[in-house]
Structure 1
Amino acid sequence: MSATDIVVILVGAVIVVGIAWFFWGPRRAGTRASLTSTGYQEAMVLVKGGYTPDVIVVQRGKPVRIHFRREETAACSEMVVFADFGKSARLPAGETVTVELLPEEPGEYDFTCQMGMLRGKLVVE
């Protein structure tokens, strides 16, 4: 095996580890949704190569409005799906779309694109 072969194998291994870390690595603590005077908990999520923030923390029993702003044209990010709540929404590029939820039980609920490649989490306390 030549030195070039070893370098190629090592670079490939680093790329595989990086991809695994991106998709399955630990998540940050999250962003707490702000409580408005109307009683809604609201958060803004930028959709551009992923969800920013990708973890949103809310209180149970209070309605939630999550505003998604899609700033890309990748096919994967055309839709957001909250499978546990039976909700989904189309996200046209350059527009803000609001998804309303009422989380009644504490727990962690995923939201994803329709292909499951972009991932976020709603943490209900």
Structure 2
Amino acid sequence: MTENTQEAKVEVAGGYKPNVVTLKKGIPAKISFTRTNDQGCLDVVHSKTLGFEEELPINVTKTVDIPTDKAGEFDFSCGMDMFFGKVVIE
């Protein structure tokens, strides 16, 4: 993380590791998701509140921009909404 951008990395393997990502409000942010096993519904990650949906091929990193204009807690989940993670903007 530099002063004008922030980035988090999330491993997708039987869930999200870490499953809570904390970001600072007002600083542009990205989260990079890397799926490392072929467990079913984790091949998609999405968040209606953060405005993204990405397919996650195995061992390919996908990076999404995260809006940081509002503080709060925002969920993301797999394609079937069985596994969840959270972005905390403070």
Deviation at 1:67, TM superposition (A): 0.7
**SS of the residue 2:49 aligns to:** helix
* Identity in percent: 39
Quote the residue 1:40 is aligned against. 5
Q: Which runs of structure 1 show a deviation greater than 6 angstroms over 4 or more consecutive aligned residues?
A: none
Which has more strand, going by share of residues?
2
Selected match of 1:122 from 82, 87, 90: 87
CA RMSD of aligned residues (A): 1.1
Unpaired stretches in structure 2, ≥5 consecutive residues: none
The structure, 1 or 2, with the larger RCO (C-alpha pairs under 8 Å, 6+ apart) is 2
Deviation at 1:86, TM superposition (A): 1.9
Which has more helix, going by share of residues?
1
Counterpart-to-counterpart distance in 2, 1:63 and 1:88: 18
Higher Cα Rg, which structure: 1
Unpaired stretches in structure 1, ≥5 consecutive residues: 1-34
Counterpart-to-counterpart distance in 2, 1:114 and 1:103: 23
Counterpart-to-counterpart distance in 1, 2:5 and 2:19: 19
Counterpart-to-counterpart distance in 1, 2:66 and 2:28: 6
